[in-house]
């Protein structure tokens, strides 16, 4: 018998290629364990209400009245609902053509699209056209609609950041296109290097792929980084030079957990840059009610805005949207409420601000708790979550664990995450589902578990992880090396102490430098050498950006008589652009009012430096 239409052998090959790790093997196993009675903590997906976040009161009141408009005719409605909620419900019902049960325009209700345009203008300082705004069933539907419009076949490529949210790889596979990866640099807090972009485009073109668009996720998912204005300018210039459309996934724009790098939209930066970029770069931006302090994932409300898109293309996008008739109407009202929020003086304003600020402040604390928790674990390294809803720690798996995973037919980080799930009930997503460099392993977890539960969750993770590392640490293979290392360390301890004492006491030396190094651009060239040297010990790599771990720094202006007055102790996180060290071998001046790991007030040269958390991360400053 020949295969039937829906037999597996007959299916569209593009459907078979689609992979979506967020709801993949780990999620399915977690669901099985839950049915068996095991308590599961689903941190695999950014689903705030499922992990205990309470819905905001005012939007739910408004939508409740819109869903049951007969309540508005009840003489006692004012006893149950505040007057501003009643007025808002009437406002949105007037936008409909028969209440929430009727289709809207395929682009969404014109009145709500106008509110979105006004929001964008307030945010960016430039007018927005409601005719170029489409309301969608969540941002994901909008992303898929635009990718479907762009991709003609496997010869068309889309630049996607790696690690990436697997919506993009899945949709590109589904539509038959080619994903062109560009790698973010973990050691530079998941920064973006335009040179890597150029290499990715060149490699794709060499393979015969026409790169048509570039995706940015700001703040990042799964990496949590926030793009600076200078990053965005570089990206926009690159898109202009390479003739690429830019897709700006900005759904986490409310989720910012530090003050040094606030969210700024790609559209605002593009408009600030002026012609020709502001007139020629094609930009599509996405937003949603699912994230931020709203967290209304189940409502499925989103929008996309198009800039510099030709009218004929807009007509084609409208035509395809019309096939689905209408985005869901209640979600459109949620979107209107998000972009046109309560104002000071409104009856419900104080409660709304109290609830929304409470959510964001708690998320900020949870981001720090999770980062610190991961960094306290053996063989785990985690950058601070600057924004979005996720931590993406690197798990340095022992060779024995990798070998065991391969024998079991598992990708190593999948193996680790399955063991974690079985032992603790914590459901995560392996880093391989987002893409990562060869031989490097991660997992993604949300920062959404309730704040009061976070210490217990991180303690459970630490216990599992450290026991896992102990179990798979192949001690026998390293015993001789360790014994030799211990012997060597003991043998060299006394000579090193004598050497350091001689350097410190010798007035002609300054921490290993025979003469004061020349000052270059406010920093040090360290005799023009290609290696950095502290106390005569060459470092293994050029400087890396300062760690976002809190550091202590002690300032001394070289005045020994007034040493105490020049010292300040704080616990801050140097994450601003000024506090970051460039990759070249020249350091900017140190930020003031931070206490150093080491205090050096040698008149001959180096004055201060700190080393969080290892010798490869180093700051050196010359005396003024």
Number of domains in the chain: 2
What are the helix and strand counts (H, E) for the chain? Answer: 19, 21
Work out the average pLDDT over 141-166. 95
| Full 3-state SS string of 522-584 | CEECHHHCCCCEECCEECCCCCCCCCCCCECCCCCCCCHHHCHHHCCCCCECCCCHHHCCCCC
> Could you read off the pLDDT of 35-74 as tens digits, one per residue?
999 999 998 888 889 888 999 999 999 999 999 999 999 9
Residues 298 and 372 in one domain: no
- 526, pLDDT greater than 70: no
Name the least confident of 242-246, 444-448, 505-509, 595-599: 595-599
Q: Which residue has the tokens 């898929």?
A: 144
Euclidean distance between CA atoms 380 and 368, whole angstroms: 15
In angstroms, the CA 538 to CA 507 distance is 22
Instruction: Convert the pLDDT of each residue in 394-403 to its tens digit.
Output: 999 999 999 9
25 located within any domain: yes
Q: Which residue has the higher pLDDT, 266 or 548?
A: 266
Question: Which three-class secondary structure state does DSSP give residue 40?
Answer: coil
Where residue 502 falls among pLDDT bands split at 50, 70, 90? low
Establish if 543 belongs to a structural domain: no
Residues 387, 300, single domain; the answer is: no
Cα–Cα distance measured from residue 276 to residue 278, given in angstroms and rounded to the nearest whole number? 6
Structure-model confidence comparison of residues 574 and 296, the more confident one: 296
Q: Among 80-94, 294-308, 346-360, 511-525, name the one with the lowest average pLDDT.
A: 511-525
Together in a domain, 176 and 128: yes
Q: What is the pLDDT of residues 427-463, one digit of tens each?
A: 999 998 888 888 899 999 999 999 999 999 999 999 9
- pLDDT category at 2 given cuts 50, 70, 90 is confident
Mean pLDDT across the chain, nearest whole number? 81
Burial class (CB in 10 A: 0-12, 13-18, 19+), 424: buried
Task: Give the DSSP per-residue string, 154-192.
Answer: TTEEEEEEES--THHHHHHHHTT-EEEEEE-BGGGTSB-
Report pLDDT for 561.
41
CATH number at residue 467: 3.90.1150.10
Question: Is residue 382 located within the same domain as residue 320?
Answer: no
- Is it the case that residue 482 has pLDDT exceeding 80? no
Residues 295, 365: one domain? no
321 and 190 in one domain?
Answer: yes
Mean pLDDT on 325-332: 96
Give pLDDT, residue 493.
58
What mean pLDDT is predicted for residues 279-301? 94
Per the DSSP assignment, residues forming a β-bridge with 247 are: 215, 284
pLDDT of amino acid 486: 45
Cα-based distances in Å from 89 to 84, 119, 186, 301, 312? 9, 19, 47, 17, 36
18 and 113 in a single domain? The answer is no
Give the percent of the chain with pLDDT over 90. Answer: 66
131 burial level (CB within 10 Å; 0-12, 13-18, 19+): middle
Dihedral sign (CA 443, 444, 450, 451)? positive
Q: Tell me, yes or no, whether 361 lies in a domain.
A: yes
Domain final residue pick, 472, 494, 521:
472
Q: In what helix (H) or strand (E) does residue 372 lie, and over which residues does it extend?
A: helix 349-375
Tokens of 545: 């950006």
The answer to the question of residue 419 being in a domain is yes
Burial degree of 530 (CB within 10 A; 0-12, 13-18, 19+): exposed
Beta pairing, strands 178-183 & 302-307: unpaired
> Is the pLDDT confidence value at 390 over 60?
yes
Mean pLDDT of the region 469-483? 59
Report residue 122 as tokens: 């307030």
Give the single-character DSSP code of 422: H
Q: Name the percent of the chain lying above pLDDT 70.
A: 75
In a domain, 518, yes or no: no
Distance between CA 384 and CA 381 in Å, rounded?
Answer: 10
Q: In which domain, by residue range, is 396 found?
A: 9-39+356-472
Q: How confident is the model at residue 475 (pLDDT cuts 50, 70, 90)?
A: low
Q: Measured between alpha carbons, how far is 265 from 251 in angstroms, rounded to an integer?
A: 11
Cβ atoms of 571 and 550 closer than 8 Å: yes
The pLDDT of 16-44, averaged and rounded, is: 87
Contact 333, 63 (CB under 8 A): yes
pLDDT band (50, 70, 90) for residue 6: very high
The per-residue pLDDT for 51 is: 87
- Mean pLDDT along residues 297-307: 96
How far is the C-alpha of 248 from the C-alpha of 287, rounded, in Å? 9
Q: Residue 435: in which H helix or E strand, if any?
A: none
Q: Which residues contact 360 (CB under 8 A, 6 or more apart)?
A: 254, 255, 293
DSSP 106-145: TT--HHHHHHHHHHHHHHHSS---GGGEEEESHHHHHHHH
Listed in sequence order, the residues at least 6 apart from 227 whose beta carbon sits closer than 8 Å to its beta carbon are 192, 216, 218, 219, 235, 261, 264
Give yes or no: residues 223 and 326 share one domain. Answer: yes
Decide if pLDDT at 549 tops 70.
no
CB burial readout 576-612, b (16+ within 10 A) else e: eeebbbeeebbbbebeeebbbeebbbbebbbbbbbbb
164 alpha carbon, distance to own chain's centre: 10
For 172-205, the pLDDT digits (tens) are 999 999 999 999 988 888 988 899 999 999 999 9
Residue 219 Ramachandran class (φ > 0 left, ψ -120 to 50 alpha, else beta): beta
**Any idea how long the chain is?**
624
Any domain includes 198: yes
* 421 and 330 share one domain: no
Task: Give the pLDDT confidence score for residue 494 in this predicted structure.
Answer: 56
The residue ranking higher by pLDDT, 587 or 425, is: 425
pLDDT at 176: 95
Is residue 302 one of the residues assigned to a domain? yes
Instruction: Kindly list the distances between the CA atom of residue 585 and the CA atoms of 414, 557, 579, 605, in Å, as whole numbers in the listed order.
Output: 39, 24, 15, 17
CB 53 within 8 A of CB 292: no
Rounded distance between C-alpha atoms, residue 448 and residue 139, angstroms: 20
Mean pLDDT of 503-529: 39
Q: Would you state the pLDDT for residue 473?
A: 86
Asked if the model's pLDDT at residue 243 lies above 60, the reply is: yes
Q: Is the pLDDT of residue 218 over 70?
A: yes
Burial class for 550, CB neighbours closer than 10 Å (0-12, 13-18, 19+): middle
57-67 and 329-339 are packed helices; what angle lies between their axes, rounded to 10 degrees? Answer: 140
- Same domain for 208 and 134, yes or no, is yes
Cα distance between residue 318 and residue 320, in whole Å: 5
Please report, for residues 138, 150, 284, the alpha-carbon distance to residue 317 in angstroms, rounded to integers and kept in the order given. Answer: 17, 10, 12
Which pLDDT does position 501 carry in this prediction?
Answer: 54
According to the model, what pLDDT value does residue 559 have? 41
The answer to whether 198 and 229 have CB atoms below 8 angstroms apart is: no
If you average pLDDT over residues 241-269, what whole number do you get? 95
**Paired residues of 449 in beta bridges:** none
Least confident of 24-38, 125-139, 179-193, 583-597: 583-597
Assigned domain for 202 exists: yes
What pTM was computed for the model?
Answer: 0.75
Q: Are 263 and 226 in contact (CB under 8 A)?
A: yes
What's the start-to-end Cα distance of the chain, in Å? 87
| Residues 140 and 195 placed together within one structural domain of the fold | yes
Predicted pLDDT at 601: 33
30 and 111 share one domain? no
- Report the DSSP pairing between strands 598-599 and 41-42: unpaired
pLDDT band for position 612 (cuts 50, 70, 90): very low
Which DSSP symbol is given to 52?
Answer: T
């Amino acid at each position: 018998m020949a295969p039937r239409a829906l037999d597996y052998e007959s299916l569209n090959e593009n459907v078979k290629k689609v992979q979506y790790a967020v709801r993949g093997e780990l999620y399915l196993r977690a669901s099985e364990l839950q049915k068996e009675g095991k308590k599961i903590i689903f941190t695999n997906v950014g689903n705030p209400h499922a992990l205990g976040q309470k819905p905001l009161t005012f939007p739910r009141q408004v939508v409740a009245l819109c869903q049951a408009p007969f309540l508005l005719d009840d003489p006692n409605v004012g006893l149950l609902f505040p007057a501003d909620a009643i007025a808002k419900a009437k406002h949105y019902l007037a936008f409909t053509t028969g209440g929430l049960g009727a289709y809207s325009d395929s682009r969404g209700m014109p009145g709500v699209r106008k509110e979105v345009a006004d929001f964008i203008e307030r945010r960016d300082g430039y007018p927005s056209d409601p005719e170029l705004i489409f309301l969608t069933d969540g941002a994901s539907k909008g992303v898929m609609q635009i990718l479907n419009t762009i991709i003609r076949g496997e010869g068309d490529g889309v630049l996607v950041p790696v690690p990436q949210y697997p919506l993009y790889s899945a949709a590109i596979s589904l539509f038959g296109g080619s994903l062109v990866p560009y790698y973010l640099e973990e050691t530079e807090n998941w920064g973006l290097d335009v040179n890597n972009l150029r290499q990715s485009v060149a490699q794709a073109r060499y393979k015969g792929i026409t790169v048509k668009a570039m995706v940015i996720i700001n703040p990042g998912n799964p990496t949590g980084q926030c793009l600076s204005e200078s990053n965005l300018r570089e990206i926009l210039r690159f898109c202009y030079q390479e003739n690429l459309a830019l897709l700006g996934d900005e759904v986490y724009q409310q989720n910012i957990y530090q003050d040094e790098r606030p969210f700024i939209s790609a559209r605002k930066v593009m408009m600030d840059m002026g012609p020709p970029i502001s007139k020629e770069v094609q930009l599509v931006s996405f937003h949603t009610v699912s994230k931020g302090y709203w967290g209304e994932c189940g409502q499925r409300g989103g929008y996309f805005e198009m800039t510099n898109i030709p009218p004929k293309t807009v007509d084609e996008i409208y035509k395809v949207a019309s096939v689905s008739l209408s985005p869901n109407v209640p979600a459109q009202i949620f979107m209107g409420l998000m972009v046109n929020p309560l104002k000071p003086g409104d009856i419900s304003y104080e409660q709304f601000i109290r609830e929304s600020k409470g959510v964001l402040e708690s998320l900020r604390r949870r981001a720090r708790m999770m980062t610190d928790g991961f960094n306290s674990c053996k063989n785990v390294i985690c950058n601070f979550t600057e924004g979005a809803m996720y931590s993406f720690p690197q798990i340095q798996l022992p060779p024995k664990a990798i070998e065991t995973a391969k024998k079991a037919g598992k990708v190593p980080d999948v193996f680790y995450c399955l063991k974690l799930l079985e032992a603790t009930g914590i459901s995560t997503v392996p880093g391989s589902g987002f893409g990562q460099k060869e031989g490097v392993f991660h997992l993604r977890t949300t920062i959404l578990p309730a704040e009061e539960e976070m210490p217990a969750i991180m303690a459970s993770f630490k216990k599992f992880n450290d026991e896992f590392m102990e179990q798979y640490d192949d001690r026998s293979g390293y015993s001789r090396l360790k014994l030799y290392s211990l012997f060597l360390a003991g043998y060299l301890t006394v000579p090193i102490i004598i050497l350091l004492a001689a350097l410190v006491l010798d007035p002609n030396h300054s921490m290993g430098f025979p003469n004061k190094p020349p000052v270059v651009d406010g920093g040090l060239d360290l005799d023009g050498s290609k290696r950095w040297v502290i106390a005569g010990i060459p470092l293994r790599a050029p400087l890396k950006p300062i760690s976002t771990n809190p550091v202590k720094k002690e300032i001394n202006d070289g005045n020994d008589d007034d040493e105490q007055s020049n010292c300040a102790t704080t616990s801050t996180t140097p994450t601003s652009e000024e506090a970051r060290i460039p990759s070249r071998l020249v350091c900017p001046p140190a930020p003031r009012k931070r206490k150093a790991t080491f205090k050096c007030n040698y008149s001959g040269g180096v004055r201060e430096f700190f080393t969080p958390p290892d010798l490869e991360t180093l700051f050196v400053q010359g005396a003024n």
